[in-house]
A and B are shown apart, each in its own frame.
Chain A
């Protein structure tokens, strides 16, 4: 299947700093990418939908100024956690889809963010 690469896989940062997470589709063009967050033993929760060349669409309760999403090309979307706090510590996962419906989503390996 297609490959989605997420980087970094783990990051530790200090409170108040910003962290950027990259999501790349390596062998297909992803018109849409999704960002999820997962707390321990909990479900993946959709944070936002990222469309190439346009503004991201955020789910209710997700602060767009805190979680900045950029989808500048058909193979790269970035999520920047700004002014990170310990409660932002979580597992962040991206997924990417090609064009059209009825295509499976391909997930990155996830990024474990720890804010200290």
Chain B
């Protein structure tokens, strides 16, 4: 079955730096790979979606890359702010119908 690994349990960075989060999966590539933000005690909030045939997607300070050869997605937050502190979840949508397989998430802490 599909396994998803997200790097390190917590990532601490200084305000203004770029945060880079990693998502690796084991089996065949999904139709879509999605990134969500989750705050404590709340449901996930959609951030970005990238298709199997896309290499990179950007939205404001966010950038996602998708390498189906490496079976990896990287999620970047540039000019990070303390308000970006949250858990970031990688999710695989294998067939495009939003039946998602989630990674455990990476907790990001941005320090002033």
Contact = CB atoms under 8 A, between A and B. Distances in A.
Interface of A: 1, 4, 6, 32, 34, 36, 41-46, 49, 91, 93, 95, 97, 101-110, 112
Contact of A46 (B32, B51, B101, B105): B101
Nearest to B51: A102
Given A101-B31, A102-B32, A104-B49, A44 B97 contact: no
B86 interface: no
Given A107-B43, A109-B42, A34 B100 contact: yes
Contact of A34 (B41, B42, B99, B103): B99
A103 B100 CA distance: 12
B96 interface: yes
Nearest to A2: B46
Q: Among B31, B43, B45, B99, find the residue whose CB has the most chain A CB atoms closer than 10 A.
A: B43
A97 B98 contact: yes
B26 to A, nearest CB: 14
21 contacts: A1-B46, A6-B43, A32-B98, A34-B100, A43-B4, A44-B89, A44-B100, A46-B99, A46-B100, A93-B43, A95-B100, A97-B97, A101-B95, A101-B97, A102-B32, A104-B34, A105-B46, A106-B46, A107-B36, A107-B43, A108-B43
